[in-house]
Structure 1
Amino acid sequence: MKWKYAAIASIALGLAACATHPDKPAGRDVRIVQPDPAEQAAEDAQVQRVVEGVRMIQQGRIQAAIDGPFDEVAGYYEKKYRGHTDTIFSARGMPDALLYSTVAAKDKHIISSRVIGPAWAMAYWGRGYAYNEMARYDDAIVELDKALALAPFDTQYNIEIGFAYQRKRTWEESLKHYEVAERFARLTADDKNVADMTCKALRGEGYDLVELHRYPEARAAYRKCLVLIPGEPRSLGELKYIDRVAGPEATP
């Protein structure tokens, strides 16, 4: 099932502030899978394979990362869940697991769902990241859409696909994903990375808004980043650029 991000955002935004265990509607099955030790070890091993693939990209072995770790992990889960009737979500931790289970409980089109660990979506993200590094943006979008089908509000995945659309100069689509990335950073990013990931999303928004000539909104995005990370150099540079192309901001 490919999620329609705008269609579900209104549901999810109301839940983001306080994700709690959902009330299960009659006849519906919403489960967060708690793996046994053997399953957890297998999941951890798959996560480590994705991490290995990322290291390979950083070493310049991009195609090898796609053909090796990312394909292996994606294939493992595709085989495991082939023919499965549940809608599957792939969560990083309990906050986004609760978010996805709550959204599933409220979606009348989902009869049964389960929330598993992060490795499956990470593998698709890894392939998308690799294709972005190769400037194969259409291929990146295909893979990142798969990641977002499993984890629609994940900040990292939305940033990555926002970048791909940005490189294709598809500003509105890019902006939509960066906005989702910003809104859900505190639920889907590691605690130590929330400010950094939120700032990346805001810079992506700002760039798109400049290209759309929506300069006041772009300034606001960069300033929000500077609140999170004072003195952040890219935001400061972009604000100076906006002053050059749009003129200094009018003072009251």
Structure 2
Amino acid sequence: MSGLLLLAHPGWAQDPGAGQPAASSPPADPKVAAEKAEDEAMLRLLGEGAQLMRSGQPRQAIETYDKIIATYEARYQDSKEKLYCANGMAETLAYMMLAASQKQAAKALAPTWAVAYFMKGYALVELRDTASAKAALEKARDLSPYNPHFLNELANIYKGEKNWPLALETYQAAKEHVAAFALPQLKDKDETAALHGIAFVYSETGKLDEAETIYKQCLEKNPQDTYAQSELNYIAQQRAKQAQVR
């Protein structure tokens, strides 16, 4: 997994509604000011959790992420709106359009809450607690359903469970949303991960032609894609075995 890369991007945790000139802002509301201070504290906790992960302390990192999760769950427990976590205006608008199509009132928050769930899932995978990791990643997906990085990591869990239909659906969703919503430094990685995942599911479900086509596309884009080349070799071996049976 590559969850720690999320923390390398300076814009991922910005409030989508931030950026208004201070001179035109109304006097600070005490509740708004308190929530802003709390948001800044939660952002610092994300950084602390990432540092704990880098130093090989996933259990302690999970404790940090749980503090963030508990903070936002408490804040929004009585919310009547559908809550999303968005990275920037394009994702915010997409979620508002999604909610409108479902006739739901909705609100887009900064990504911190969803990232905390994602990073918790990352830590739980490190601890080989796959069931708990899946639950955390599904929470991240629910808050940020168009985030391709979250979708790919969740699809990896489904792939490990050999839940081929759900893995394929989730990888395809990740691929669909890469162009519009991937973080700039993760775009190529997320697209490749989605393509690898889709092709792997095709291969495992007997659709060797479809898998081969995707792996060749990956190699055209990146001739150094050793994974795609290895999988093409596997497909060739499978075809040879099938030919012997016939």
TM-score (norm 2): 0.79
User: Is the CA contact 2:164–2:201 (under 8 Å) kept in the aligned structure 1?
Assistant: yes
Q: How many residues align?
A: 214
- State the identity as a percent: 27
Query: Closer, same or farther in 2 for the Cα pair 1:96/1:169, shift >3 Å?
Result: same
**Which of 6, 17, 21 in structure 2 is aligned with 1:34?**
17
Matched with 2:66 is 71
Matched with 1:131 is 124
The 3-state SS of whatever aligns with 2:146 is coil
Matched with 1:166 is 159
Higher relative contact order (CA 8 A, sep 6+): 1
Distance, in Å, in 2 between the alignment partners of 1:106 and 1:200 is 30
The 3-state SS of whatever aligns with 1:60 is coil
The 3-state SS of whatever aligns with 2:128 is coil
- Answer 1 or 2: which has greater helix percent: 2
Q: CA deviation at 1:33?
A: 6.0
Q: RMSD across aligned C-alpha pairs, in angstroms?
A: 2.3
Distance, in Å, in 1 between the alignment partners of 2:223 and 2:37 is 40
Q: CA deviation at 1:117?
A: 0.8
Distance, in Å, in 1 between the alignment partners of 2:199 and 2:44 is 34
The 3-state SS of whatever aligns with 1:92 is coil
Q: CA deviation at 1:98?
A: 1.4
Would you say 1:218 and 2:211 are equivalent positions? yes
User: Is the CA contact 2:120–2:133 (under 8 Å) kept in the aligned structure 1?
Assistant: yes
Q: CA deviation at 1:123?
A: 0.8
Matched with 1:87 is 82
Structure 2 letter corresponding to 1:72: K
The 3-state SS of whatever aligns with 1:184 is helix
Structure 1 letter corresponding to 2:224: G
Structure 2 letter corresponding to 1:75: A
Query: Closer, same or farther in 2 for the Cα pair 1:54/1:235, shift >3 Å?
Result: farther
Query: Closer, same or farther in 2 for the Cα pair 1:51/1:235, shift >3 Å?
Result: farther
Distance, in Å, in 2 between the alignment partners of 1:95 and 1:227 is 30
Q: CA deviation at 1:204?
A: 1.4
Alignment of 1:131-150 (within 5 A): 131-150=124-143
Would you say 1:57 and 2:40 are equivalent positions? no
Distance, in Å, in 2 between the alignment partners of 1:51 and 1:208 is 35
**Which of 186, 192, 195 in structure 1 is aligned with 2:188?**
195
Would you say 1:186 and 2:179 are equivalent positions? yes
Unaligned runs of 5+ in 1: 1-31
Moved over 3 A (4+): 35-45
Matched with 2:12 is none
Q: CA deviation at 1:124?
A: 0.9
The 3-state SS of whatever aligns with 2:107 is strand
User: Is the CA contact 2:118–2:150 (under 8 Å) kept in the aligned structure 1?
Assistant: yes
Query: Closer, same or farther in 2 for the Cα pair 1:72/1:228, shift >3 Å?
Result: farther
User: Is the CA contact 2:16–2:86 (under 8 Å) kept in the aligned structure 1?
Assistant: no
